[in-house]
Amino acid sequence: MQLTHEEIQFERKTFPITLVCDHIYFQQNIGSIFRISEAFGVENIIFLGKDIPLNPRKINKTSRSTHLHVPHIVIEDTNDLINHLHQNNFEIIALEIASNSKPLKEVKIPQNQKIALLIGSEIDGISTELLKISNQIVHINMFGKNSSMNVVQAASIALYELTSS
């Protein structure tokens, strides 16, 4: 028998993970990013870019009101983001298929260090500037002909891996 939301007794937990969204603009993805971040206990979200469409009315359908519960900020400039990540001593993990990326299962999570998980825009992925400052670049092994997946699907898989290890 399927349980109702009230009957589910998962442990509530927050992980020292900041999800960094590099120029993600599609409102359905933004809403889903809030929802998946809340589900996996993400500490906060940083949206990088100008004019990020955080209109609650537009994102509420996919966020299911989780945008009210997950702390988030917008940083407009890439250099400001880089300074923020370095000043706060994040282990920067980029989720991107690159010449030097390794499978997600091989990610090394340092003890007692905050993680910044970088996910890229729907069109261009993660910028070169952010890939250059990443401590680790990881990809999700895929076995079909397609070499990419929706940013929210990829973030979901990565957050599952990071929070279950």
CA distance 114 to 109: 9
Inside any domain, residue 83: yes
Q: Which residue has the higher pLDDT, 159 or 54?
A: 159
What's the average model confidence in pLDDT over 38-56? Answer: 93
Q: Nearest-5° angle of CA 41, CA 47, CA 49?
A: 170
Instruction: Note the pLDDT of residue 32.
Output: 94
Domain containing 139 equals: 15-164
Q: What is the DSSP letter of 148?
A: -
Where b means 16+ CB within 10 Å and e means fewer, 37-46 reads: bbbbbbeebb
Q: Which are the contacts of 95, defined by CB distance < 8 A and separation ≥ 6?
A: 104, 117, 118, 119, 120, 126, 138, 139, 140, 154, 155, 158
Across the chain, which distance is largest between two alpha carbons, in Å? 51
- Does residue 148 fall inside a structural domain? yes
Does some domain include residue 10? no
Q: Please give the radius of gyration of the chain, using alpha carbons only, rounded to the nearest integer.
A: 16
pLDDT in tens, 109-152: 988 899 999 999 988 999 999 999 999 999 999 998 887 889 99
Over 90: is that where the pLDDT of 54 sits? no
CA distance 87 to 140: 29
- What's the CATH code of the domain at 138? 3.40.1280.10
SS3 65: coil
- Quick one: pLDDT at residue 12? 78
Quick check: is 47 in a domain? yes
For residue 165, what pLDDT band results from cuts at 50, 70 and 90? low
User: What is the overall mean pLDDT for the chain?
Assistant: 92
Average pLDDT over residues 74-98: 97
Provide the sign of the torsion angle of the four alpha carbons 44, 14, 163, 134, taken in this order: positive
pLDDT, tens digit (0-9, with 9 covering 90-100), for 91-105:
999 999 999 999 999
pLDDT for residue 60 is more than 80: no
Domains in the chain, number: 1
